Amino acid sequence: MQTITPFLWFNGNLDEALSFYPTVFENTKIDSVNRMGDQVFSAEFELNGQKFMALNVTQEPHFHFNESISMYVSAETQSEVDDLWEKLTADGGSEGRCGWLKDKFGLSWQIIPRALGQLMGDPDPAKSQRVMQAMMKMNKITIKDLEMAHTG
């Protein structure tokens, strides 16, 4: 059976990424690391069961991550949202709008609590619209504020 695995291009900092992501996601596994001399050339790893391939390029051309692709993380609790948000924006990461952020490597992430989909899926259009409007004003998604918007 064919599988689809995201392939990430790092510009000379794959070693750092392989050290960083296990501090963010508890269920991380480094499957293989291929070296050329003393530097990592490529690697296969898993974050919470999702496989990734990565290439480490130290010469031109350098390609950079952008928002046209992001990693979507569905969080159960506000504590989980807060923890992931703090870790992924640390050391040069940046906050975006509506649950989006970039980590220090420039990789885009969406940290979205399951409650957002549940509240926006309310059959009452006024409630779901209030939730949408509340979310549009947020950077990090706050479940309590979504619930308050939902109840009016």
Residue 24: predicted pLDDT: 97
Instruction: Tell me the average pLDDT of the chain.
Output: 95
pLDDT band at 2 (very low <50, low <70, confident <90, very high): confident
Read off the pTM: 0.91
pLDDT of residue 1: 81
- Domains of the chain by start residue, with CATH: 1-60 (3.30.720.100), 65-152 (3.10.180.10)
Helix, strand and coil in the chain, % to nearest 5: 35, 30, 35
The model's confidence at residue 82, banded by pLDDT at 50, 70 and 90, is very high
For residues 43 and 91, the answer to whether their CB atoms sit within 8 Å is: no
Q: What is the pLDDT of residues 103-133, one digit of tens each?
A: 999 999 999 999 999 999 999 999 999 999 9
